[in-house]
Chains A and B, each alone.
Chain A
């Protein structure tokens, strides 16, 4: 069974002058343990769709099931939020306490974890993101990447099956971004979590099992990174700049130099160029 099953979702924000749909007939399916990237320019509907998965936005039209639970039923809301955690863009806006262990305990307290179990769960969640030993520290004293890992630990503490990263790397420097991406990959590969990563960075989209490309509230393409990211006309039509190796591959081809396969990363490009020489 699919862990997320969305059929014909429509959504429009109240009070929006144009009354245009932010989501327009979205069909989305995701298997347990899958790593999906929602790719698209700003305003394409990625975050709006993700907020439906966590029950943060009400279902206006269509059907949505998270781990078999109907989002339309208000009785399921808290179970859905427990199954589907969400990490937001700015870590500073996610902390409810200036002591890390208290912040991570927040979700556990909301879900009535027994007090004697909370400390152990906090420690476990921090260890999962490589931040064990930071329990008594203030999140405001950490680097951007560390802050975002603590925010992720706050979500992981309640053991969600699905984790949504809503542009969680957007405000981080290169090192912070690498830290989060490594943690995401570790959660996907070692912990078998289902991951939805919202981004418009091509080098992050490469890591996914599948990319769903969004434009103006619709999913316009869905497939493995090698198919989506190598499709220059498709990316251009979605107002996205194709990855640098793909652009170089095209330029080389136009100049009469043919590589065996379209590279998606600098590493792949270097390998192919070395083979060529």
Chain B
């Protein structure tokens, strides 16, 4: 399957310190670093974060190419974020103004700040997803949300549902591609430059894609039931590694980064 092969954030098995981290420690460190990305707004902060991300990419053997592969896909979105801020944000040190356009050093800095945050968030998520298996993520989220079980919210089922939905994305993407090819072969004007024609041609795609998704969901539910699935209540977990020094080191580094970011940007 071509799509699953190139989908950024797909788990890549390897034996690295990042892969070996306890999933709970890894995900808590991930959320702590997410907070750092949100807090950071200075050049020093971004440089430190950038160096940390590159080290993580190297340590996890993910490599900058895979870490940043997802970013290329949202390049247009990033450019739009940057331009919106650079053109409309009424920042300090104005450079040029006309009607509702305000180009300023402050606006450009704000645009770069938001775009950098998105890039760093995506890179961080990419490292997490490529070094953590879907079930490890599911179990950790279920563990983090476990207090909600007291309110009778089936957190494990919910986490499993999200995990399965995510891993079905490439399958459904491939199916959509097949349907698009089939419709194009029957003269659907999907590549028409006219927006109206394009929209009209897209409508007949929606129904077969939905039918296919429901059919797949039905078959998966049957297969899960046939393998004894009864919801979260009765399930054991595949053994996961206990907390080691490496996990404490990961937590300490991420918390230290968070504390430094808070102090730096007070």
Interface residues, chain A, with chain B CB atoms under 8 Å away: 51, 54, 56, 78, 81-82, 85-86, 88-90, 92-99, 101-102, 105-116, 118-119, 136-138, 140-141, 151, 154-155, 158
Instruction: Find out whether the CB atom of A56 lies under 8 angstroms from the CB atom of B1.
Output: no
Interface band, chain B: 20 to 34
17 residue pairs A–B, Cβ–Cβ below 8 Å: A81-B225, A85-B227, A88-B219, A88-B222, A88-B223, A90-B219, A94-B223, A96-B160, A96-B220, A96-B224, A97-B135, A99-B133, A105-B238, A110-B234, A115-B236, A141-B5, A151-B223
Q: Chain A contacts of B106 at CB under 8 A?
A: none
Instruction: Find out whether the CB atom of B219 lies under 8 angstroms from the CB atom of A112.
Output: no
Q: Known: A90-B219, A155-B227. Contact between A99 and B234, CB under 8 A?
A: no
Instruction: Find out whether the CB atom of A141 lies under 8 angstroms from the CB atom of B4.
Output: yes
Task: Check: B50 CB closer than 8 A to any chain A CB.
Answer: no
Instruction: Find out whether the CB atom of A109 lies under 8 angstroms from the CB atom of B235.
Output: yes
Q: Which residues of B, 1-24, contact A by the 8 Å Cβ criterion?
A: 1, 4-5, 10-11, 13
Which 7 A-B pairs rank lowest in CB-CB distance, beginning with the nearest? A136-B13, A115-B239, A110-B228, A93-B219, A107-B227, A140-B4, A94-B223
Q: Known: A93-B223, A97-B135. Contact between A112 and B167, CB under 8 A?
A: no
A82 to B133, alpha carbons, bound, how many Å? 26
Instruction: Find out whether the CB atom of B230 lies under 8 angstroms from the CB atom of A116.
Output: no
Instruction: Find out whether the CB atom of B222 lies under 8 angstroms from the CB atom of A115.
Output: no
Q: Known: A78-B228, A140-B170. Contact between A99 and B135, CB under 8 A?
A: yes
Task: Check: B229 CB closer than 8 A to any chain A CB.
Answer: yes
Task: Check: B134 CB closer than 8 A to any chain A CB.
Answer: yes
Instruction: Find out whether the CB atom of B235 lies under 8 angstroms from the CB atom of A110.
Output: yes
Residue in chain B with minimal CB distance to A136:
B13
Query: Which of B163, B171, B225, B226 interacts with A140 by CB under 8 Å?
Result: B171
Instruction: Find out whether the CB atom of A94 lies under 8 angstroms from the CB atom of B219.
Output: yes
Instruction: Find out whether the CB atom of A109 lies under 8 angstroms from the CB atom of B238.
Output: yes
Task: Check: B164 CB closer than 8 A to any chain A CB.
Answer: yes
Q: Known: A94-B223, A97-B135, A99-B133. Contact between A110 and B167, CB under 8 A?
A: no
Having A93-B216, A138-B4, A138-B11, one finds 19 other A-B pairs with CB under 8 Å, namely A56-B225, A56-B226, A81-B228, A92-B171, A96-B164, A97-B134, A105-B135, A105-B238, A107-B228, A108-B238, A110-B227, A110-B235, A115-B236, A115-B239, A118-B236, A140-B1, A140-B5, A141-B1, A155-B227
Instruction: Find out whether the CB atom of A99 lies under 8 angstroms from the CB atom of B238.
Output: no
Q: Chain B contacts of A151 at CB under 8 A?
A: 223
| Binary flags per residue of B206-248, CB closer than 8 Å to A gives 1, else 0 | 0000000000100110111111111000111111000000000
**Closest Cβ of chain A: how far from B150's Cβ, in Å?**
23
**Closest Cβ of chain B: how far from A33's Cβ, in Å?**
21
Q: Known: A94-B220, A109-B238, A119-B238. Contact between A102 and B134, CB under 8 A?
A: yes
Q: Chain B contacts of A138 at CB under 8 A?
A: 4, 10-11
Q: Chain B contacts of A140 at CB under 8 A?
A: 1, 4-5, 170-171
Instruction: Find out whether the CB atom of A115 lies under 8 angstroms from the CB atom of B228.
Output: no
Residue in chain A with minimal CB distance to B14:
A136
Instruction: Find out whether the CB atom of B219 lies under 8 angstroms from the CB atom of A82.
Output: no
Q: Chain A contacts of B230 at CB under 8 A?
A: 78, 110
A256 to B207, alpha carbons, bound, how many Å? 57
Instruction: Find out whether the CB atom of B134 lies under 8 angstroms from the CB atom of A99.
Output: yes
Residue in chain A with minimal CB distance to B133:
A99
A94 to B221, alpha carbons, bound, how many Å? 8
Q: Chain B contacts of A81 at CB under 8 A?
A: 225-228
A88 to B230, alpha carbons, bound, how many Å? 19
A220 to B160, alpha carbons, bound, how many Å? 43
